[in-house]
Chain A
Amino acid sequence: MSKFLKFTASIVLLGAAWATSANAQDADAGEKVFRKCAACHAVGEGAKNKVGPELNEIFGRVAGSLEDFKYSKAMTKAGEEGLVWDHDSLTEYLAKPRDYVKGTKMAFAGLKKDDEIANVIAYLATFSESAEQAAAEPDSAPAAAPVETASTAEPAVNAADAVIPEHGVYHLGREALPEEVAAWDIDVRPDGVGLPFGSGTVADGGVLYDENCAVCHGVFGEGEGRWPVLSGGFDTLTADRPVKTIGSYWPFASTIFDYVHRAMPFGNARSLSADQTYAITAYLLYLNDIVTEEDFELSNETFSEISLPNEENFYPDDRLEEANFATNVEPCMENCGDGPAEIVMRARVLDVTPDGDEENGAGGID
């Protein structure tokens, strides 16, 4: 007996439970959920196969049985083994498609929420005659008050079937796949560790910068409004108002690449390719006179040639050396200071506390 027939048999025992949840189905809500599917699947009048098969009359259809659609071998085989699409099989499949039919080419990871699954199935049922008939039968959906429950609860699994990994102390979590690590581990260090393969020139970066960056950072990196200034500021670090830029302050060029690649442009992060990021980084170095040729090409190979002028002026935290960190010195308790205290500075003079008509104060935390 195939696993699908076994599953169908076990469902009989769960029939009562299913009937209760079936009552919460909402075809209208399911129409919204179906937007997640609509890139690949069509349903309704005139629906045709797209990346995935059309879904009219899906209820009662043998899996992998549309003659004009090219299924995965796994899906065709599942149909041959007896998989027929109905409420139960669709519920299982839509939760974790690649677990239910191993080898399906449907790339969708699955719907996480039980109510989303129920609703999208209810929506699909409105395009399936057999499903409509089943719903009309009086014993299929006894009336019961819908109960809101935590939607994040995972479907129950047989506890004894849980696979326990061997790693660690508590055997929790699973091993990260190399593709997963690669997808997230995009950080870049000053020694070049983490730099992706790629390259970009100052000239290319200028075009990209004007399109993506200049709106906030200014055409020459001078910064619009209170957006960060990226260029200039040389020899201002001891001035009354220092201008801390890539050229005047930042210690490492790797930080530019890392930050642009992970967080820029603001509001559309992770949208720049490695080559584009090299190009923009090259252009920012150019705006700061770190490189001077427009045809300079920054790449994972040339990156090590770059150093920023202020690197050597950073040093580790040495606050504890300050006199005011002396410990176990009993502070003065009586008659401290010279004469009575007098006001030397008042916030009212500046008047920058926000209450509707304030001026800008000094400082910023961008």
Chain B
Amino acid sequence: MSKQPQKDKNFVPSRRSFLQGGLTAAGGAAVAAIGGGAALAAGTPDPAITELKDWNQYSGPGVDAAPYGVPSPFEAHVVRRDVPWLTADPISSINFTPLHELDGIITPNGLCFERHHSGVAEVDPAEHRLMINGLVDKPLVFTMQDLMRFPRENRVYFLECAANSGMEWRGAQLNGCQFTHGMLHNVMYTGVRLRTLLEEAGVKPAGKWILAEGADASGMGRSIPIEKALDDCLVAFKMNGEALRPEQGYPVRLCVPGWEGNMWVKWLRRIEVGDKPWQLREETSKYTDLMPDGRARRFTWAMDVKSVITNPSPQAPITHGRGHTIITGVAWSGHGKIKRVDVSIDGGRNWQHARIDGPSLSRSLHRFYYEFNWDGSPLYLQSRAIDEQGYVQPTKDALRAARGDNSIYHNNGIQTWYLKSNGEAENVEVS
């Protein structure tokens, strides 16, 4: 089996390659990767068994061949991807997590989507400071070493960009859950409660808001109400056990659990306490939701209950034909835990409970599975999540009825994949 050729940044192992390759297993690269070899006539011994492979015979690399380990070369297609037409320049842009290649609930650090407003700041932790100023008893400066001396906690939280699925308001547009839902990751953070730091400085009674500000060249800033700041916000310096990646805010970022990703200020260098919100760019001209009457909602912070089927999906067709089939996906809510996920294979006419497996944590991704016997007929696959507050993931039509087509953010509508008899899946909307 040859190594996968998908070094091409624009390669999407879904439509064209899939269509050109058809269902002959030697066709599309994606098929070969999943199928693992050519179809065999009945009774023909499998050369994967009968032939001696190199790795059966020869020693491989020793320890330290890769002091920091990397994925198998056969997984080279599992990468973040961007949508070039979305933004003016990659310095201020976004890419997408390959949700269809992942399982469980944790997003590996190198696959967490990136959103920068002035590129990735390369910050020397020895020269990084976190300042708390404004309406506090004593303005303070912390070094990284200071921060790591406060009591720490470990929490798993999803981070979803408010604009996730934002390209789908006018209808099905992008073929792949990576592109429709990939402004999403789920990570275990280690850090210090923001509350602990604020108490160290002493918040004055007039302090009702905080401003969180980054050290990057965009000086990213967001206003956050003091109630949230004193509740569950985390000043994090580790993700999934290791130091934050530079693109995720090394050496320290803010976590604002359940709220839109833009507020999770990276390269966090300052917290100011004030009596009013600051109305900075990212909370006025952006991240406000335009309604059909021309008015706009502001401070739409919470990310609502949502789910998506990640497999099958346009980038991950079914290659095994009819028979026992696993549908899987992720569900999450900024309002708490996921209580239930329903799956429909007929475009929402009939629903079955999916099985949630793995940790069920507040404001974290949940992994669901729905297993059934596919007869090979075309299906309209949907998932619908319900959170512990009782909020039910709405249809896209219900959202449009309330908000029109131009609110950009907070599209948590039910996604439909059209699964065809040949196993290919397509992003569609149904009646």
Contacts and interface: CB of A to CB of B under 8 A. Distances in A.
Interface of A: 112-113, 152, 154, 167-170, 172-176, 180-181, 184-185, 187-191, 193, 216, 225-228, 237-238, 240, 242, 244, 246, 249-252, 254-255, 258-259, 262-263, 266-267, 269-270, 313-319, 322-325, 327-329, 331-338, 340-348, 350, 352-356, 358-366
B158 interface: no
A15 B112 CA distance: 48
Interface stretch (B44-52, B131-139, B232-240, B320-328): B131-139
Instruction: Sort A-B residue pairs by CB-CB distance and give the 6 closest, nearest first.
Output: A341-B347, A327-B390, A168-B200, A262-B219, A324-B394, A347-B427
B285 A250 contact: yes
Contact of B166 (A113, A170, A175, A365): A365
B247 interface: no
Interface in B174-223: 174-176, 179, 196, 199-202, 211, 213, 217-219, 221
A176 B218 contact: no
Interface in B225-256: none
Contact of B399 (A188, A313, A324, A327): A324
Nearest to B215: A184
Contact of B304 (A240, A318, A319, A336): A319
A169 B199 contact: yes
A122 to B, nearest CB: 21
Interface residues of B, number: 121
B217 A269 contact: yes
A240 B405 CA distance: 8
Nearest to B167: A363
Interface stretch (B32-40, B57-65, B83-91, B357-365): B83-91
A34 to B, nearest CB: 19
Contacts of A318: 297
Nearest to A366: B87
Nearest to A331: B392
Interface stretch (B23-31, B70-78, B102-110, B142-150): B142-150
B88 A347 contact: no
A323 B290 contact: no
Interface string B254-291: 00000000000000011010101011110011101010
12 contacts: A173-B140, A187-B211, A189-B278, A216-B88, A316-B299, A317-B298, A317-B299, A317-B302, A325-B391, A333-B350, A341-B348, A365-B87
B170 to A, nearest CB: 5
A233 to B, nearest CB: 12
Contact of B84 (A322, A333, A346, A354): A354
Given A112-B124, A187-B221, A362 B398 contact: no
Contact of A263 (B16, B218, B294): B218
A320 to B, nearest CB: 9
Contacts of B169: 363
Contacts of B384: 331
A175 B407 CA distance: 43
Contacts of B276: 189, 191
B4 interface: no
B351 interface: yes
Contacts of A340: 346-347, 349
Nearest to B171: A345
Q: DSSP majority for the A interface? A: loop
Indicate the member of B88, B125, B170, B179 with the most A CB atoms within 10 Å.
Answer: B88
B349 A255 contact: no
Nearest to A324: B394
A119 B117 CA distance: 37
B87 A364 contact: yes
A347 B117 CA distance: 28
A353 B399 CA distance: 23
Residue among A270, A346, A352, A365 with most chain B CB within 10 A:
A365
B408 A365 contact: yes
Contacts of A216: 88
Given A324-B394, A337-B349, A361 B200 contact: no
Nearest to A226: B88
Nearest to B84: A354
B99 interface: no
Contact of A313 (B213, B296, B301): B296
Nearest to A238: B294
A176 B380 contact: no
B85 A361 contact: yes
A254 to B, nearest CB: 7
B408 A112 contact: no
Contact of B87 (A168, A226, A322, A323): A226
B304 to A, nearest CB: 7
Interface in B88-134: 88-89, 91-92, 94, 117-118, 124-127, 131-134
A237 B202 contact: no
Given A189-B279, A317-B301, A341-B380, A347 B294 contact: no
Contact of A362 (B170, B346, B386): B170
Nearest to B386: A331
A143 to B, nearest CB: 24
A356 B394 CA distance: 33
A336 B333 CA distance: 24
A175 B139 contact: yes
Nearest to B131: A176
Contacts of A240: 405
